[in-house]
Each structure stands twice: as C-alpha cells, then as structure tokens.
Amino acid sequence: MSDNTTYGLAADFENPLALMKAAEKCRDEGFKSWDCITPFPVHGLDDAMGLKRSKVPFFTFIGGSIGFCTGTFIAWYMNAFDYPLIVGGKPFFSPVFPFPVMYELTILLAALSTIAGMFILNGLPRHYHPVMKAKNFAGTTDDILRITIEASDPLYDSDKTKAFLHEIGGTNIQELED
Amino acid sequence: MSSEATTSGAVAASGKKNWPFLCGVGGLVFLAIAIFGAISGAMDHNARPAYGLLVMFTFYLSIGLGMLLLNLIHHVFGAGWSTVPRRQVEHATSIFPVLAGVFAVFLIITYFIDNGLIWKWIDFEKVKDDVLYTKKSWYLNNTRFLIGVVVCFAGWIFLSHKMRSYSAAQDKDGDVKWTNKLVWWSAVGVIFTALTLSMAAIDWIKSIEFHWFSTMFGVWFFAASMRAALAITALVCLYQVYKNGPLTGLFKRGHLYDLGCLMLAFTVFWAYISFSQYFLIYNANIPEETFWYNMREQGAWWWVSMGLIFGHFLFTFIYLLFYRNKVKASRMIFISVWILCFHMLDLYFNILPSKRENYEMFVSYPFYISLWDIAAFLGIGGLCAWSFMRSWAKTQVIPVKDPRISESLHHHGR
C-alpha cells in the first residue's frame, strides 16, 4: 500500500487513563495531525493532547457585535430617520427603549455565529471520514478509545509510527485507507 | 477531630501576629466609633452617620447572604467542582451574629432616639395622613417589621450554623448521611433565604423610600449579593494559594475559571435586573415611580449612575469575557476588588439618595464618603474577619471526607 492511499494509523487503548498517557506521549513526540476518538468526553484530554483553546468564541464575539450594531441601527433607522414617530412621549431615538431589541439581536446573532463557527472550524457538514473505514468503528461509540495518527503528519513514517503506537500501549494497530 | 483541628489551627497561629484577635479588637474599636457617630448624629437629627453604618451593614449583609446562597445552591444541585472552595464559603456564613448585633443599633436609634430618622414611615404621627403610607400600612407596620427582623436573623443564624456543623461533622466520620442532611436543609433553606432576602431588602433598604414602587428590588439585592460573594470567594481562595498557603495544589485553575464564569454570569444578571427596573419605570413614566430615578440624576449621583452602567456592568462584562482574565490570579484579584468597589457604590446609590435633604423638594443627600462610613466599614469588616478566621481555625481547609471531594480535586476547567 503506497503512502498516498494511506490515511494513517489507528491504535486502541484499554481505558481513559491509558489513552491520556498515550496522548501525552504523542504530544511530546511532536505529532501535529493526529486525534483521539472516544465514545464519551474525557476531561483533561485537551491538555494531554496539547490542544489550544477553541477559536469559536471569536466567532461568537463578532456575531454578537454585529447583532448589537444591527439592533441599534434598525431602531434608529425606523424610528428616528425613515419615519420619525412619537410613541408614548419618548424621544425618537434613545438607547433605553430599544435596548431589548439590541440585546436580543446580540444574543441571536452570537448564538447563530457560534454554531456557524463550530461548523466552519470542524469542516462540517461532512458525510465521510477515513476513520469510519476502520475495523470496529462502531466500537468507538461504545467502549473503544482510539488514537489516529495521519500520514500527512511530517513525522509520520509507516513502520516507525507503528512501532511508536505499539510502544505507548496501543493494541489492534491498523492502517487506515484514505 | 481534635488532632486534625489543632493541625489546621496551628497553621493560623503559626503567623507572627494573632490576626483573629487583632481583627476583632480593631473591629470593635472602629465599630464603637461608627456607633458613637450614628447615635450622636441621631440625637442632632443628622441621619448621615447612621446611613453610613446602614450602607456598610448592607455591604457585609449582602456578602453573608450571597455566601449562604452559594452554599445552599452547591448542595441543592449536588455540585461537585465547588467542593474545594465550599469550606471558605461556609466560614463566611458565620458572620450573621455579628450583623445581628450591628442591626440592633438601628433598632435602638429608631425606637429610642428618633423614630423617623432611618425609616421615615416608623414615625407614624407624621405619616398617618399620607395616603401612600396608609395603603401600605398592612405591610409597613411595627409588628410585621420587628417579626421580619427576628425571622431573618434567627433563620440565617440557624441555617448557617446547621450547614457548617453538618459539614464539619462529616470531616470526622465521612458518613454520607451528612450530605443527605445538608441537601435536605439546603432545599428548605434556599426557599427560606430567597424569601427573607427579598423581605430584608424591601424592609431595610427599599422602605426608606416608602412612596416608591418596584417589583424588581428583591431580585436586584439577590444579584448584587451573589456578585459580592463570588468576588470574596475568589479573593479568599487566592489568598490561601498565595505563598504556598493551605489551599496550594487544592484550589486550581479550573476552580478559579469557574468562579470567573459565575462572576460573568451574575454580572449579566445584575445588569439585566437593574436595567429591567429602570426600563419598566422609564416606559411607564408615572411620577410615583420616576421620582426615584430623578433623585438619582442630581449632582454627583448622575456620575455614580454612569459609573454603575459602565464600570459595574460594561467594563466588568467585557473584561470577564476573556479566558485569560479568568485564570490568571492577579487579573481575578483585580476584577474581584473592582466588583466589590462598585458593589459598594451600587449600595450607596440605592440607599443614600432615598434620605432626602429637603423632603418636599425631592432633594437627595449629596454623594460623598464620610469618615463615619470608613469607620463603619473597618469596624464591621474587622468583626466579620474575626468571625471568619475563628471558624476557619476550627475545621479542615477543605471538606476532606465529602463524597464529591475527589471529583473537585480533579476538576478540569477549560
């Protein structure tokens, strides 16, 4: 099997602690394109993998700011610019009475852009991924904890990486097709 | 227990100075000065020193109640992560007897010196023709007011004592029955505390301006109390991590981060409640309600209002949005102190202008911080610190045998 049809290597681990230890070793070894597949969230795995904080909050902030400005703008445009109208003796525009509009739009666009940001950063929607071709893939939604190292990683070398996965305690080591 | 208690007690005593003693004596001295000011002021019909004492009393009351609620909420939700900082929260609920003693000063002033000095409506001769008073007199009367005082303090002292003694009892035998008892008392206590907190806020703060109407006031005091309590929790825990203190290695980044998240949440909640109150009154625009805010636009109070909007809410909100500001100790110390300062300003804003310099013309007391206020701040604060440290020396630094302590020690915040 030549390298350009190989996606990478996968290895299974006994329990979350073993996975965590292995993840720390992968991180220290310097791998960049690799991932852990677990059937449930494992607390502390982000640190063990050396992941940086998610960039999703950035999308949330931008979305919220746009929402706030939009709310302010439409309240001003409709009530004070396009069709000035006296309602309840209030000024045409004031930051007080349209505030519910402003913050509701802030929340709405912040929430929507959070979801959008999550989809963009995860490359979703996506219907196929090479790890799905692995043996016992269904087991990773049940009781199998798996580490995959991708062939695109600069440190990847079919034999050496296989030995490395074996050394850090991985079992059922298998090659994944692209 | 005894050997364990001596160990943790020894940590407190190992410092060069006997801090609980110093705080207690200092507190008594400053409190005596503040009480002297309040009473001699009351004899001259000058309410300002008594109001300084009331603002400072409310400051520590809000911290105590916020801490009590944090503790109750922890048990009601079966929370795991907050088990490590919980012990500090429990110690802080030991301050209610001190507060009850301070409150007695207001009762003495009201019933023996000048009836209407603090709460104008207690001077019944003057308000008996006031239709806004007579319509509210089913609630605002001596009997109900005094029963309220007794129920509030008796309930808080009883509840906080129960919570603390059960939690300390679990340190000895690790029996899970204590946790079940704590949960039961918390479920009852959280309803009791919510109701009495609202009643206290209405009786002792809002009724200064008994002409006014607001349905948000109790919730405002709850939101403000939680912010103050969270800030103090963060400060107390960080102090015990500082220079290899007793919480080193126990109170970790995750706990600090989650405290920061709660501070952010309650910043938004406080703003939501405070704004809602303003918004309803602004939109309805009826003089029975608007005068309260009009009085707070006079002179320096305008700048205090702006300070609350931009300092207590906007700056704090944006600051706490950033992850790094919630996990770095120095930055959390800064924002906690910031929140406490603005919380104090918020209490001045809600209490002081209601006492009018010229009653008929709606002229409120000007905003300034007097020396009596500072004496009251140091006095009540010293006694509260004494109470905290005395409670601290009696127990382990964390609930060592709590069923959820392991979960909390391995808490990962991200």
Q: Nearest Cβ partner of A44 from B283, B285, B412?
A: B412
pLDDT at B95: 95
Q: A106 and A71 in contact (C-beta within 8 Å)?
A: yes
d(CA A177, CA A5): 6
Q: What token pair was written down for B27?
A: 């507190």
B8 pLDDT tier (thresholds 50, 70, 90):
very low
Percent of chain B topping pLDDT 90? 74
Q: What token pair was written down for B182?
A: 């704590």
d(CA B307, CA B312): 7
pLDDT at B3: 41
As a whole number of Å, the end-to-end CA separation of chain A is 11
Better-predicted residue by pLDDT, B238 or A153 = B238
Q: B95 and B64 in contact (C-beta within 8 Å)?
A: yes
Better-predicted residue by pLDDT, A109 or A172 = A109
pLDDT at B18: 87
Q: How far is CA B112 from CA A117, B42, B59, in A?
A: 66, 10, 25
Q: How far is A163 from chain B (nearest CA, A)?
A: 32
Between helix B371-394 and helix B19-43 the angle, nearest 10°, is 150
Report the Cα B115 to chain-centroid distance in Å: 26
Calculate mean pLDDT across residues B28-57: 94
* Mean pLDDT over each residue of chain A, to the nearest integer: 86
Q: What token pair was written down for B369?
A: 């911080």
Helices marked H in B44-141: 48-76, 83-92, 96-108, 124-127, 131-136
A23 pLDDT tier (thresholds 50, 70, 90):
confident
Q: How far is B109 from chain A (nearest CA, A)?
A: 41
Q: What token pair was written down for B331?
A: 């930055």
Calculate mean pLDDT across residues B333-346: 96
pLDDT tens digits, one per residue of B308-336: 999 999 999 999 999 999 999 999 999 99
pLDDT at B15: 53
| Interchain contact A44–B (C-beta under 8 A) | yes
Q: What token pair was written down for B305?
A: 């209002």
Are A57 and B414 inside 8 Å of each other by CB?
no
Are A97 and B283 inside 8 Å of each other by CB?
yes
Better-predicted residue by pLDDT, B186 or A7 = B186
If you search the block for the tokens 């301070």, which residue do you land on?
B102
Q: A11 and A173 in contact (C-beta within 8 Å)?
A: yes
DSSP-derived 3-state class of residue B268? helix
Q: B120 and B210 in contact (C-beta within 8 Å)?
A: yes
Are A97 and B278 inside 8 Å of each other by CB?
no
Nearest by Cα to B117 from B58, B41, B55, B34:
B41
d(CA B275, CA B262): 19
Minimum mean pLDDT among A56-65, B97-106, B327-336, B400-409: which range? B400-409
pLDDT at B7: 43
Give the start-end residues of each E strand in B34-187: none
> Does residue A125 have a cis peptide bond before it, meaning omega lies within 30 degrees of 0?
yes
How large is the ipTM? 0.81
pLDDT at B16: 64
pLDDT above 60 for A83: yes
Nearest by Cα to B221 from B301, B277, B179, B263:
B277
pLDDT at B5: 42
Task: Report the chain B residue with the minimal C-alpha distance to residue A87.
Answer: B283
For residue B254, give every residue at least 6 positions away whose Cβ sits within 8 Å of its Cβ, in sequence order, or none. B81, B411, B412, B413, B414
Minimum mean pLDDT among B73-77, B135-139, B343-347, B407-411: which range? B407-411
d(CA B387, CA B67): 14
A156 pLDDT tier (thresholds 50, 70, 90):
confident
pLDDT at A155: 80
Handedness of CA B183, B188, B191, B193 (dihedral sign): negative
Calculate mean pLDDT across residues B148-161: 96
Provide the total of helices (H) and of strands (E) in chain B, helices listed first. Answer: 18, 2
pLDDT at A1: 44
pLDDT at A88: 81
Q: B31 and B379 in contact (C-beta within 8 Å)?
A: yes
Better-predicted residue by pLDDT, A32 or B369 = B369
Handedness of CA B35, B37, B38, B43 (dihedral sign): positive
pLDDT at B242: 87
C-alpha angle B125-B129-B130 in degrees, rounded to nearest 5: 105
pLDDT above 90 for B30: yes
* Residue B413 CB-density burial (10 A; 0-12 exposed, 13-18 middle, 19+ buried): middle
Between helix B217-239 and helix B329-351 the angle, nearest 10°, is 150
| Interchain contact A91–B (C-beta under 8 A) | no
**Cβ within 8 Å of B, A 50-79:** 53, 57, 61
Q: How far is CA B7 from CA B126, B207, B327, in A?
A: 60, 48, 30
pLDDT at B413: 65
B10 pLDDT tier (thresholds 50, 70, 90):
very low
Q: What token pair was written down for A108?
A: 């709405």
For residue A99, the chain B residues in CB contact (below 8 A) are 275, 279
* Mean pLDDT over each residue of chain B, to the nearest integer: 91
| Interchain contact B279–A (C-beta under 8 A) | yes
Which residue out of B275, B278, B324, B414 would a mutagenesis test of the A interface target, given it has the greatest number of A Cβ atoms within 10 Å?
B414
Q: Nearest Cβ partner of A53 from B285, B323, B410?
A: B323
For residue B285, the chain A residues in CB contact (below 8 A) are 88-89
pLDDT tens digits, one per residue of B228-285: 999 999 999 999 998 888 888 899 888 999 999 999 999 999 999 999 999 999 988 8
Provide the total of helices (H) and of strands (E) in chain A, helices listed first. Answer: 5, 4
